[in-house]
Amino acid sequence: MENIMEVGREVLIPRREEEKVIIDARDVHYRDLNGQIRELAQEGASRIELGNVNGQRYLGAGLTEKDLQISIHGTPGNDLAAFMDGPRIEVFGNAQDAVSNTMNSGKVIIHGHAGDVLGYGMRGGRLYVRGNVGYRVGIHMKAYQKQAPVIIAGGTAGDFFGEYMAGGILVLLGLERKPEEKIVGDWVGTGIHGGAIYLRGEVERHQLGKEVGIAEKIPDQEMKELTALLQDYCREFELDPEEISDKPFLKLYPFSARPYGKLYAY
Amino acid sequence: MRMIQPDFRIVIDQEKCRKCGRCSFNCGFGALRFSDRVIPEPEKCAGCHRCVSFCPEQAITVELNPLAFRPNDNWTPGHIKAIYKQAETGGILLTGMGNDKPYLIINDHLLLDACQVTNPSIDPLREPMELRTYLGRRPEKLEFKKDAGKWKPAGPPPSTLKVELPILFAPMSYGSISYNAFQALCMAAKELDTLMYTGEGGLPKELYPYGGHIILQVASGRFGVHPESLNIGVGTQIKIGQGAKPGIGGHLPGEKIPSHISKTRMIPEGTDALSPAPHHDIYSIEDLRMLIYALKEATGYKPVCVKIAAVHNVAAIASGIFRAGADQVYLDGFRGGTGAAPFITRDHLGIPVELAVAVVDQRLREEGIRHLGTIVAAGSVRSAADAVKLIALGADAVAIGTAALVAMGCHLCQKCHTGNCSWGIATQKPELVRRLDPEWAAERLVNLVRGWEHEIKDVMGAMGINAIESLRGNRERLRGLGLDHETLKILGVKPAGAPMG
């Protein structure tokens, strides 16, 4: 990390260290930065490290290189990994809004907090956030065949968590909560018609959308899959899986795959 | 007891009928039962004329059911029947196609100019007429540099899209229309060297070879949107709103999502495809800019179109859209068609596209940003005359949806939402879809647009104009007949009889 901070402005040209390409993003416009990343990706670079990132948007947008790994030091701007289909992005810092917007596949790891509208229309891949997430997270996530998106956030979430959700898995761990602090805001799962939400904490009925059911029990097979996901999450953040499994999970599910089927008259 | 009586009456001339059963086979709505003779079930009849068209003996007549309510200019049969239906179901009433209410049609009150004596008209059969249109952002300025004694452009040419004529195919999603209808539009767009918008349902992989004529839509459901599909077209379109249902989302019912639709939309079979009313990542012009540039980043800066419904504040919104970085704004008027919309939004929301085009063009000129992008007008372009008038009001191009469907056989029965289209257009039932031969339909689409092309050239010639560019926003060549003073002022058009200058 330190050596990237040291390189300063001169190193607009990426510096190569064995298999790693290092770019100093200080004062670089997002268009130039993204252009450079795309160029490197197309040349077959497998590891790109970005230093001094400060609000540059659309990092990784539309990238499709499956073996590419990008690590970001600093704070990437909105729409990180939008439309992305394959690569892995790791952020050592906080992220802003709309991370993994309409993402198809790949993995995004955020070591800090992240903003609103994460994973909107996400169709596959994984988004792990170590800290808290904002409003409207996981809106209209959807699954298709083997593709199922997963978002796991370590802290709390704001209102409209999983709104319009059509598929995939949303997990909220509520770690390091203050006493009395709610794990999630209101209007959870409003309009949900697919997928599942797992909360490691309590939720009151009035916090949920009217389309949301609370499962009495999580089936064993499902719990196994959830545990596997959590182990992967813990691996990424060097957490102890035991710490997470000390509290039971609550499963929220949609009452119907067609919540508005009876709304219309023909 | 039946509260709602049929709209139509099916009369079979039993003398002529040779009991072949074709009518019964052809009816997608099951309105003609066949057991040793044809037995009409008029309550199911949509009035789509499929049976009439296929009866070899011309033995079928479909007429309006003459059953009369007591005349009442206030409580129309439409109001009464709607109440019966809602009293029974408690639901939102759905319909298909565009607004059919008797609102003023501005295009029918606009007249075009022609040359007489003092300026010569042009014969388009003898002289070249230019309909080629470039869609997209014009540069702020053009720079040239001297290279080996010759002046050459200094930078790369502006990234505009070239179409051979200013008639595009409007977004009608794969899902709302059948594969064969969708394919026919692709084929016709290629043949005509113009563009088609996909609508929200994505683009089936087998149609990727038509990518050079496709603009892929990104709507709030994000169905079928991924890097591959985004990059296959020549640009993308963000759908904010639709003329037939401004401000509300889409809802493709599970019945219309069989496996092939599910594959393109990338959602499970039989689930409802719900498009939320807003894009949840767009709550402002600044947010819109974010999605525009996210798409540009993901597509290597291909042009982005933003489609909005023509609503009351459309001029300010369009200005914001161009300032947000869009290359095209697509204005869909309140008469625009739909595969399914609630009656209330279809019939009561929005404004006519003629007014929208006029105020958007005017506003952009006043703000000095007309060059930032292209105005595409849609929402009931019924003829070449409508197209010419919209261009004279300020549009760069028009898009046709319903007209294209009609060319493929649609009879405007307004039952698209039922998925029973007898003509194989607005349906996903395989036995109905295969009725529409894509080659046949594409040929008819090409014929229609070629016919319009000739007509447009004819009236341009009559006006003494040899390039469509000279007609754009040329309101001096329009006159209003029977329009009130305020409307004329908003249109920027003089009343008929007013002289030039």
Mark yes or no for CB contact B294/A82 under 8 Å: yes
User: Does residue A232 form part of some domain?
Assistant: yes
Of B39, B66, B91, the residue at which a domain comes to its end is: B91
User: Does residue A83 form part of some domain?
Assistant: no
Are B173 and B59 in a shared domain?
no
pLDDT number for residue A5:
37
CA-wise closest residue to A212 among A263, A242, A170, A155: A170
Distance CA A151, CA A171 (A): 6
Distance CA A235, CA A213 (A): 31
- The torsion defined by the Cα of B442, B447, B449 and B455, in degrees rounded to 10, comes to 180
Mark yes or no for CB contact B268/A194 under 8 Å: yes
Mark yes or no for CB contact B281/A97 under 8 Å: yes
Mark yes or no for CB contact A263/B276 under 8 Å: no
Which CATH number do you get for residue A187? 2.160.20.60
Distance CA A67, CA A78 (A): 23
Which CATH number do you get for residue B21? 3.30.70.20
For residue B341, the chain A residue with the least C-alpha distance is A264
User: Does residue A56 form part of some domain?
Assistant: no
User: Does residue B331 form part of some domain?
Assistant: yes
* CB-CB neighbors (< 8 A) of B218 in chain A: 102
pLDDT number for residue A12:
53
Radius of gyration of chain A (CA): 19
Which CATH number do you get for residue B258? 3.20.20.70
User: Does residue A219 form part of some domain?
Assistant: yes
Distance CA A51, CA A4 (A): 6
Are B218 and B350 in a shared domain?
yes
pLDDT number for residue A18:
75
Q: How many residues does chain B have?
A: 501
User: Does residue B122 form part of some domain?
Assistant: no
Side chain identity at residue B365, one-letter code: R
B101 DSSP assignment: S
* CB-CB neighbors (< 8 A) of A123 in chain B: 222, 226, 266
Mark yes or no for CB contact B297/A34 under 8 Å: yes
Which stretches of chain A drop beneath a pLDDT of 50? 1-11
Are B200 and B81 in a shared domain?
no
Give the three-state DSSP class for A22.
Answer: strand
User: Does residue A216 form part of some domain?
Assistant: yes
DSSP letters for B185-246: HHHHHHHHT--EE--TT---GGGGGGGGGEEEEE-TT-TT-SHHHHHHSSEEEEE---TTST
Mark yes or no for CB contact B266/A147 under 8 Å: yes
User: Does residue B132 form part of some domain?
Assistant: no
Q: Count CA atoms closer than 13 A to B482's CA, side-chain side.
A: 8
Are B25 and B174 in a shared domain?
no
CB atoms within 10 A of CB A91: 27
pLDDT number for residue B165:
97
CA-wise closest residue to B182 among B496, B488, B427, B474: B427
Of A31, A57, A136, the CB nearest to B280: A136
B137 DSSP assignment: P
User: Does residue B106 form part of some domain?
Assistant: no
User: Does residue B40 form part of some domain?
Assistant: yes
Mark yes or no for CB contact A123/B266 under 8 Å: yes
User: Does residue A227 form part of some domain?
Assistant: yes
Domain that holds residue B482: 166-495
- Residue B115 buriedness (CB in 10 A; 0-12 / 13-18 / 19+): middle
B70 DSSP assignment: P
DSSP-based helix, strand, coil % in chain A, nearest 5: 15, 30, 55
Distance CA A120, CA A160 (A): 12
Determine the Cα angle at B110 with ends B106 and B111, to 5°.
165
Are B208 and B82 in a shared domain?
no
- The torsion defined by the Cα of B278, B279, B280 and B286, in degrees rounded to 10, comes to -110
Domain that holds residue A174: 113-254
What the block records as the tokens of B198 is 């996909």
Are B178 and B294 in a shared domain?
yes
Mark yes or no for CB contact A120/B85 under 8 Å: no
What the block records as the tokens of B203 is 């683009």
**What's the structural domain count of chain A?**
1
Strands B60-64 and B38-40, bridge-based pairing: unpaired
User: Does residue A121 form part of some domain?
Assistant: yes
Of B91, B121, B150, the residue at which a domain comes to its end is: B91
* CB-CB neighbors (< 8 A) of A101 in chain B: 281, 294
Determine the Cα angle at A248 with ends A245 and A251, to 5°.
120
Name the region of B417 (left: φ>0; alpha: ψ -120 to 50; beta: rest): alpha
Which stretches of chain B drop beneath a pLDDT of 50? none
CA-wise closest residue to A182 among A195, A200, A162, A170: A200
* CB-CB neighbors (< 8 A) of B262 in chain A: 144
Min Cα separation A58/chain B (Å): 6
Min Cα separation B417/chain A (Å): 8
pLDDT number for residue B59:
97
User: What residues of chain B have any CB closer than 8 angstroms to a CB in chain A?
Assistant: 85-86, 88-94, 218, 220-222, 225-228, 230-231, 251, 253-254, 262, 266-268, 270-272, 274, 276, 280-281, 290-291, 293-295, 297-299, 342, 417-418
User: Does residue A119 form part of some domain?
Assistant: yes
Residue A15, H or E segment: strand A15-17
**What's the structural domain count of chain B?**
2
- Residue B14 buriedness (CB in 10 A; 0-12 / 13-18 / 19+): exposed
Distance CA A102, CA B263 (A): 17
Mark yes or no for CB contact B294/A265 under 8 Å: no
CA B135 to chain centre: 18
Mark yes or no for CB contact B267/A142 under 8 Å: yes
Q: Count Cβ neighbours within 10 Å for each residue of A215-246 and write b for 16 or more, e otherwise.
A: eeebeeebeeebeebbeebbebeebeeeebee
User: Does residue B115 form part of some domain?
Assistant: no
Are B170 and B80 in a shared domain?
no
Of B71, B91, B111, the residue at which a domain comes to its end is: B91
User: Does residue B108 form part of some domain?
Assistant: no
Are B293 and B391 in a shared domain?
yes
